[in-house]
């Protein structure tokens, strides 16, 4: 697959972290704040021009729960844009339930590291376009190291090695969250993102660090990201999606208006 066939239009993706059925957003994965009802927020974002949505049940892996298919059904009833669901997904059966409930894609993280064959199995069964591999990584002594279970458990796996492997196994997209940047609102990890983008031929979703509109401009230009994901700046109305898209367009970045 050639880089040229990556999506040319850049995507803006609100992320809804779900805990106990509510949308929450913390700083660096802790100190969660309640940011509202997920279905209600999803409907608002769809109407405001979001390109896609991501729902991550951040308690699911920790507590070994299955992601609630019921939530997916409610969201599918209300929104007409693609959405991805993640959290506690560890089998082909889990994915089948979520896709049948109305999700367009699934995101796998810890389960993919523990069982890399899951990526192959999901891609073979449902197609790569349904499979997003989320990677949470932290830069430690100059090395980007993959972390699991919502960023709580470090591994010995290097980000760039893992990204290449998940592409080879059939992932359709990579959702990369920099734990050094997440919740800080100081901008995305653009150096690492640009390296990732050059390394693999599948789309990269930038996550972690959005604080203002310029950060989005920078991650699309300097970070070479295909999509940018954020939570609190959207949940708390610090950035309006339509205003963001106009700013991106003003910077000659192709977006859907």
| The token pair that represents 228 in the structure block | 């940018």
Query: Could you tell me if residue 143 is inside a domain?
Result: yes
**SS3 of 184-224:** CCCCCCHHHHHHHHHHCCCCEEEECCCCCHHHHHHHHHCCC
Query: Could you tell me if residue 144 is inside a domain?
Result: yes
Query: Could you tell me if residue 257 is inside a domain?
Result: no
CATH classification at residue 153: 3.20.20.70
Query: Which range of residues forms the domain containing residue 90?
Result: 11-250
Query: Could you tell me if residue 255 is inside a domain?
Result: no
pTM for the structure as a whole:
0.91
Query: Could you tell me if residue 189 is inside a domain?
Result: yes
Largest CA distance in the chain: 46
- Cα-based torsion angle of the residue sequence 173, 176, 182, 184 in order, rounded to the nearest 10 degrees: -90
Helices (H), 55-189: 60-63, 69-78, 92-101, 110-114, 117-126, 159-169
Q: Average pLDDT, stretch 151-166?
A: 95
Query: Could you tell me if residue 177 is inside a domain?
Result: yes
In whole angstroms, give the CA distance from residue 50 to residue 250.
18
Alpha-carbon distances, residue 26 vs 30, 186, 209, 230 (angstroms): 5, 15, 12, 12
Give the pLDDT score at 22: 78
Query: Could you tell me if residue 1 is inside a domain?
Result: no
Q: Average pLDDT, stretch 17-22?
A: 80
- Tens digits of per-residue pLDDT, 224-238? 999 999 998 988 889
Q: Which are the catalytic amino acids?
A: 17, 136
Query: Could you tell me if residue 2 is inside a domain?
Result: no
Helices (H) and strands (E) in the chain, counts: 11, 12
Task: Yes or no: say if 35 and 23 are a contact pair by the CB < 8 Å rule.
Answer: yes
Give the pLDDT score at 62: 57
In whole angstroms, give the CA distance from residue 89 to residue 125.
15
Q: Average pLDDT, stretch 194-203?
A: 98
In whole angstroms, give the CA distance from residue 44 to residue 24.
16
Question: Where does the pLDDT of residue 61 fall: very low under 50, low under 70, confident under 90, or very high at 90 and above?
Answer: low
Based on the structure, what is the number of domains in the chain? 1
Give the pLDDT score at 37: 81
Question: Where does the pLDDT of residue 198 fall: very low under 50, low under 70, confident under 90, or very high at 90 and above?
Answer: very high
Alpha-carbon distances, residue 85 vs 18, 67, 69, 96, 151 (angstroms): 10, 8, 9, 12, 18
Give percent above pLDDT 90 in the chain.
Answer: 72
Q: Average pLDDT, stretch 177-188?
A: 93
């Amino acid at each position: 697959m050639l880089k040229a066939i990556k999506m040319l239009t850049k995507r803006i993706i609100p992320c809804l972290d779900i805990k106990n059925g509510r949308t929450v957003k913390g700083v660096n994965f802790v100190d969660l704040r309640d940011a509202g009802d997920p279905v209600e927020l999803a409907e608002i974002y769809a109407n405001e021009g979001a390109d896609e949505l991501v729902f991550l049940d951040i308690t699911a892996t920790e507590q070994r729960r299955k992601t609630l298919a019921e939530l997916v059904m409610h969201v599918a009833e209300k929104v007409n844009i693609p959405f991805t669901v993640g959290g506690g997904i560890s089998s082909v059966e889990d994915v089948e339930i979520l896709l049948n409930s109305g999700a367009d894609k699934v995101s796998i993280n810890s389960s993919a590291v523990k069982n890399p064959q899951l990526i192959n199995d999901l891609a073979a069964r449902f197609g790569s376009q349904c499979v997003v591999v989320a990677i949470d990584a932290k830069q430690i002594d100059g090395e980007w190291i993959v972390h699991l279970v919502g960023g709580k458990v470090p591994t010995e796996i290097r980000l760039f090695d893992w990204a290449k492997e998940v592409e080879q196994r059939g992932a359709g997209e990579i959702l990369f969250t920099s734990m050094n940047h997440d919740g800080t609102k100081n901008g995305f990890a653009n150096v690492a993102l640009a390296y990732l983008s050059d390394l693999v031929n599948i789309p990269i979703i930038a996550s972690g660090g959005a604080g203002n509109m310029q950060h989005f401009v920078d991650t699309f230009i300097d970070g070479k990201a295909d999509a940018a994901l954020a939570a609190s700046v959207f949940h708390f109305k610090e950035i309006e999606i339509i205003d963001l898209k106009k700013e991106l367009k003003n910077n000659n970045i192709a977006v859907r208006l």
